[in-house]
Structure 1
């Protein structure tokens, strides 16, 4: 005998486009309810119009801590509960470390790290009281490895991964799950209109040429149309399948690799790290 699944309520940041919008659409396809937040909420008007009983749209800049707490309370009031919280809001920054200005670095950390932290802190009292819930942190293969000229982005995601791993152990006794979704490449606006760029120094022109194929930044946004990366809907389906795994199964990892290219990126990252540690004769890689 099968039982109908109770509809979940999602709280998604950065839901106006790209991955955030794909997550919202997947949740709606699963007959769930969605509180979709974005800095420009008008981008979500079509979803609200198509699903007036299951979508609430809230404007939210995740860097404003007080506003985050207010919006979370409003989200709970909308549907009476939250089940899945997706910290998706974020952006990239192309900047060699020497090139990065203070305002650019602070903006990177405020959104990618502090924004996710504020949302996490805001939802935890509610999830603890219910003794259930799932917090999904949208990370990246860049949250484990690094790439020249993306070091500040990497730092923001490494920080996200650090507090989230500790968080998972802290909240497990309350029935709350945490997932670090480590994504590979997807055809979103992340590398295009959402990308931020520091003022380039000529000293790093050769480096940018070797990494991106051109020293010019910002790069030509018209090339977005030729992006052959995976459809964000693929990532949304992978996340939904992960959430649907039955409680108690031991194969529910803290880290979820999403994207066909993600496992190979991770293999390269960890092989390089292993080989670096092996330069110390005291280090023995486990067999």
Structure 2
């Protein structure tokens, strides 16, 4: 119910948006099951909220561990109301540059991690006939960009199954939200970014996109990030979760709507190059 205290489970809570979501929920008086590969990084949060926060170790790519984590989370506070699938990372590289290991690891975390969490929590939410599954997607789940194809693919797949999921679970009063953030001052482009082994053939492309052909890029740039604070995103997410209804896709950040409109306009223009689509629009 809107305004009632909630129990959150948030993956990837040790830093970035995940940490901001956990901090905001706790500050609002909610309880949080915070997960991370290294739960030791959450000790300061637990020290501040000892009665409202528990930390659990979790690698979302391990399906059995995910199901066990859900059971432990329920045991900690008696229920789960909001599950935020935040764990993920970016991967830079052209399609030709990616190894099999690169691609499988990207999908295991960004796609299958969220899928396992969703499957694990649904029996609990269906039994209670309430709940909210929040999938952290991206504006990159709407369009694509050269050298981010693997990341885009993982987010497009996340969006695809989540849109179907929303219709499947609505009869039980379960909400699904696809969060599409724009730019925020996190370490997503730095500490959380991984890179394929570069091929010289794509040096010119990388230079045109990033101002350098070298990857990984200079990490010192992170000190000059002027993007919005992740606390802004957390506040907007809490407001959305506490409303009775809302859109399936939630845009976070001032730049997100412009990016999405540009991407959708480009897709529409491409469809208009098809004679059959032109004829349909002209009717």
TM-score range, shorter chain: over 0.9
Alignment counterpart, residue 274 of structure 1, candidates 256, 268, 275 = 268
Q: Given the two structures, how large is their TM-score scaled by the length of structure 2?
A: 0.97
Whether the aligned pair in 1 keeps the contact of 2:3 and 2:242 (CA below 8 Å) is: no
Q: Secondary structure at the match of 1:282?
A: helix
| Per-residue deviation, 1:6 | 2.8
Query: Per-residue displacement from partner, 1:139-171 (whole Å, max 9, x unpaired)?
Result: 000001000000000000000000000000000
Q: Given the two structures, how large is their TM-score scaled by the length of structure 1?
A: 0.96
Where do residues 22-33 of structure 1 align in structure 2 (5 Å cutoff)?
22-33=20-31
| Per-residue deviation, 1:40 | 1.0
Query: Per-residue displacement from partner, 1:1-58 (whole Å, max 9, x unpaired)?
Result: xx99431000000000000000000101110000000001111000111111000000
Is 1:260 the counterpart of 2:254? The answer is: yes
Residue of structure 1 in register with 2:223 after alignment: 225
**Structure 1 spans left out of the alignment, 5+ residues:** none
Is 1:140 the counterpart of 2:138? The answer is: yes
Q: Distance in 2 between matches of 1:105 and 1:16?
A: 24
Counting matched residue pairs gives 281
Structure 1 runs (4+) greater than 2 angstroms displaced: 3-6, 284-287
Cα RMSD for the two superposed structures: 1.3
Residue of structure 2 in register with 1:88 after alignment: 86
Q: Secondary structure at the match of 2:276?
A: coil
Residue of structure 1 in register with 2:106 after alignment: 108
CA shift in 2, pair 1:277/1:81, >3 Å: same
Q: Secondary structure at the match of 2:137?
A: strand
Where do residues 1-287 of structure 1 align in structure 2 (5 Å cutoff)?
5-245=3-243, 247=244, 249=245, 252-283=246-277, 284-285=280-281
